[in-house]
Amino acid sequence: MTVMRMSALYAPTLKEDPADAEIASHRLLLRAGMIRKEAAGLYSFLPLGMRVLRKIENIVREEMDSHGGQELLMPFVQPAELWHRSGRWDDYGDELLRLKDRHGNEFVLGPTHEEIITNLVDNELRSYKDLPKNLYQIQLKFRDERRPRFGLLRGREFIMKDAYSFDMDEEGLEKSYQQMREAYSNMCERMGLDYRIVKADSGQIGGNESEEFMALAESGEAELVYCSCGYAADVEAAAASPRPVQYKADTLEKIATPGVHTIAELAEFLDCEEAACMKAFSCKDSEENIWVLFVPGNYEVNEIKASRIVSGFTPLTDEEMEKAGLVKGSMGPVGLPEGVKVAADESLRAIERWVVGANEDGFHYVGARLGEDFQVDAWSDLCTVQKGDACPECGLPLQSARGIEVSQIFKLGDKYSRSMDVTFMAEDGSEQYFLMGCYGVGVSRTLAAAVEQSHDDMGIIWPVGIAPAHICVIPLTVGDDLVQPTAERLAKEADALGLEVVIDDRNERAGVKFADADLIGWPLQVVVGKRGLAEGKVEIKLRRTGEKRDVELTSLAELLAFAKRNAAGKTSGYFDALFNR
Ligand code: ATP
Ligand code: MG
């Protein structure tokens, strides 16, 4: 390899925090000169950011290749025709960026590649003898996110590794899925991430079984619940266990509740628990039917769960509510306008008499009798799970945490092979639909997630497995005939050991070099100065802990060789062994 030179490197560091960067990874990646913003959700990777990206890609590639994957590359621009065939041209919504070429042909910028890959294997994976196959690529994706933010965490253009498996039966699919689960766990380990595997909702992609790999972080957009028994799930997927309370009332009674518009106000007015009042939420389905959903007052309606019964779930705007004859802050199932449908959370089946809005501003009902005063058209789990809900596997109270979804694995089954009519010939000669799985790693998001988990006030602390280089050699003076030549020699020796080395050969003050080294986050710093050299010593500093130690010039190479041997196969603590002996 070659020793990188800070004097030549294009890594413009910033002293000040960029104004619009809200979270650490965004701020530090900009400040460390690793990325630059071009427009909302569009970033350039500068050389150091690129090095980290390549490391992540290579870990992903190695794990994919050793778990049955084969790399290919598909077009980023995809013909609309395929999206019509799968039905997602209409279903995918505004995140799909559509465009036309000069002949008026329609295309999309690929947000994911199920359509392309399914079409690709059509007529070419012909027989069960060709199965299983797992094909992947590492490539750009584009999703016109409503709110691109947090730098690389939610971009519009981003880099994903997407893999697709093809199997002939459930057993094969299960095997492919488990292989990917193992590959993904290894990737997270090797990148030094603190992560959890959680049950997930299969969302936009469709299909039936899915898990997400969450890098735990307070700044994460995802919420998860977990239990000491090992159960863990995304809040969007976890079953909630609300315990609504019966309000004491024997008959239907309409009461004046002036100024009461929220559940908290209603509970206070009635002097009861929020769990004794029913919270209402209005929405419409894709056929413009109006629905009012009811959940216990101390829970929230979960949009993803709700969309299982209200297909195309869209909350009503204030105007739409008014037009539909609904009264915000006082909706209830008794006396709703004609045609409005009612759905309620399963837990409310147990409540005989409900506390609900009277569909009239300033009035509520108590004692509204289920099945008599009103009917419920559909029952379902509608609530977002909460900390303290019973674990669906062992019953203990669930705990909660936040995370960044770095990857997700899905069993798709025959969703795409069926909708696009792509089959293979089975052993008995019949034509059957492939059973597919799809598996995505957010490569650029993972880069940011690693920084989110590993930084301090001074800057980034790269996990060794993905650091832009392992060691930064810092000569405190340059241009002299002792310090710089010694530093150059040490850098070459470390390089010869197979470590990645950068030398800060800029003619800058020591303070500037130290600040940049901490900001960029090289795992180990080797500081070479006149005073130390007079005693035959250099100083090494472990970025992760800030620990410093003087070592004999003559033993540095040996120590680094030891660290490297010691680190074989390890993902962190590469250089730690140099400090605790
Ligand atoms: P999210 O729920 O965060 O929007 P998703 O579930 O829609 O993500 P998938 O379709 O599962 O995303 O895509 C696979 C991976 O691609 C995700 O696990 C994530 O790491 C990454 N990813 C998705 N959207 C973005 C984005 N806007 N910016 C960066 N990475 C993304
Ligand atoms: Mg996902």
Q: What is the per-residue pLDDT across 184-225, written as a single tens digit (0 to 9) for each?
A: 999 999 999 999 999 997 654 455 689 999 999 999 999 999
Closest ligand to Cα 160? 1
Closest ligand to Cα 112? 1
- With a Cβ cut-off of 6 Å, ligand 1 is lined by 112, 143, 145, 154-155, 158, 160, 203, 205, 405-408, 440, 442, 444-445
pLDDT over threshold 80, residue 525: yes
* CA of residue 176 to ligand 2 center, whole Å: 18
What is the distance between the alpha carbons of residues 350 and 345, in angstroms, rounded to a whole number?
10
**Average pLDDT in the 512-525 region?**
97
Please list, residue by residue across 136-147, b when 16 or more beta carbons sit within 10 angstroms of its beta carbon and e when fewer do.
bbbbebbbbbee
Q: pLDDT category, 576, cuts 50, 70, 90?
A: confident
pLDDT over threshold 60, residue 13: yes
Position 239 scores a pLDDT of 86
Helix (H, G, I), strand (E, B) or coil at 32: coil
Nearest residue (by CA) to ligand 1, atom 1, is 405
Q: In the numeric block, which tokens belong to residue 28? A: 């530090």
Nearest residue (by CA) to ligand 1, atom 8, is 405
**Average pLDDT in the 258-269 region?**
94
Q: pLDDT category, 52, cuts 50, 70, 90?
A: very high
Position 327 scores a pLDDT of 94
DSSP string, 385-449: P-TTSBPTTT-SBPEEEEEEEEEEEEEEETHHHHHTT-EEE-TTS-EEEPEEEEEEEEHHHHHHH
Position 463 scores a pLDDT of 92
Contact by Cβ (8 Å): 368, 333? yes
* Mean per-residue pLDDT over the chain, rounded: 94
Q: pLDDT category, 142, cuts 50, 70, 90?
A: very high
Contacts of 506 (CB under 8 A, 6+ apart): 6, 7, 478, 512, 513
Position 572 scores a pLDDT of 64
For 123-134, how does the pLDDT look when each residue is reduced to its tens digit (9 = 90+)? 899 999 999 999
Atom of ligand 1 nearest to the CA of 442: 20
Closest ligand to Cα 141? 1
Nearest residue (by CA) to ligand 1, atom 25, is 154
For 559-575, how does the pLDDT look when each residue is reduced to its tens digit (9 = 90+)? 999 888 876 666 666 78
Nearest residue (by CA) to ligand 1, atom 23, is 442
Contact by Cβ (8 Å): 489, 460? no
DSSP string, 477-524: S-SSSSHHHHHHHHHHHHHHTT--EEE--SS--HHHHHHHHHHHT-SE
Query: What is the number of other CB atoms lying within 10 angstroms of the CB of residue 542?
Result: 20
Query: What is the number of other CB atoms lying within 10 angstroms of the CB of residue 566?
Result: 15
For 322-365, how does the pLDDT look when each residue is reduced to its tens digit (9 = 90+)? 999 999 989 999 999 999 999 999 999 999 999 999 999 999 99
Strand order of the β-sheet with 290-296 is 314-315, 278-284, 290-296, 341-345, 378-380
Position 581 scores a pLDDT of 53
Q: What percent of the chain has pLDDT over 70?
A: 97
* CA of residue 144 to ligand 1 center, whole Å: 12
Position 19 scores a pLDDT of 87
Nearest residue (by CA) to ligand 1, atom 2, is 405
**Average pLDDT in the 292-303 region?**
96
Secondary element (H or E) of residue 452: helix 443-453
Please list, residue by residue across 168-194, b when 16 or more beta carbons sit within 10 angstroms of its beta carbon and e when fewer do.
beeebbebbbebbbebbebbbbbbbbe
Q: Which amino acid is at 375?
A: Q
**Average pLDDT in the 529-549 region?**
96
Position 577 scores a pLDDT of 81
Position 247 scores a pLDDT of 95
* CA of residue 465 to ligand 2 center, whole Å: 24
**Average pLDDT in the 48-53 region?**
98
**Average pLDDT in the 164-191 region?**
97
Alpha-carbon distances, residue 155 vs 53, 234, 514 (angstroms)? 15, 21, 31
